[in-house]
Amino acid sequence: MSPTNRWDLNVGLTYHTGPWAVGGSYGYAQDTEKCGVANSYLSCAVGASVGKDKLNDFALGANYALGPGVNLNGGIEYAKFDSFDNAPDATNRAWIYMVGTAIYF
């Protein structure tokens, strides 16, 4: 495996009022790969930066308390991954939809 430098950022906010709760979050991750002995398939000088993989993620959700111990939940999330080689098949996108019920006793 080649040497990498990775960092992540995640922020979120939730607001509660009465039986309702709504929230959102954003996440970002970046991974910079460098040439090394283990990745001889890359034609670059050892230690030189090859490129950056990036991930962006957005999520929104809501919760409604029907009564004591019974909640309805829903949310939507979008994620996008970009690879450093910028090939058409190196970018992935996903939409995720969530619906659920939670029962506490």
What pLDDT digit, counting tens, does each position of 26-63 carry?
999 988 776 655 555 555 655 555 677 889 999 999 99
More confident residue, 47 or 94: 94
If one counts the domains in the chain, the total is 1
Rounded alpha-carbon distances, angstroms, from residue 102 to 73, 76, 88, 105: 8, 17, 40, 10
Q: Is residue 81 predicted with pLDDT exceeding 80?
A: yes
Q: What count of Cα atoms within 13 Å lies in the side-chain half-sphere of residue 6?
A: 10
Over the Cα atoms of the chain, what is R_g? 20
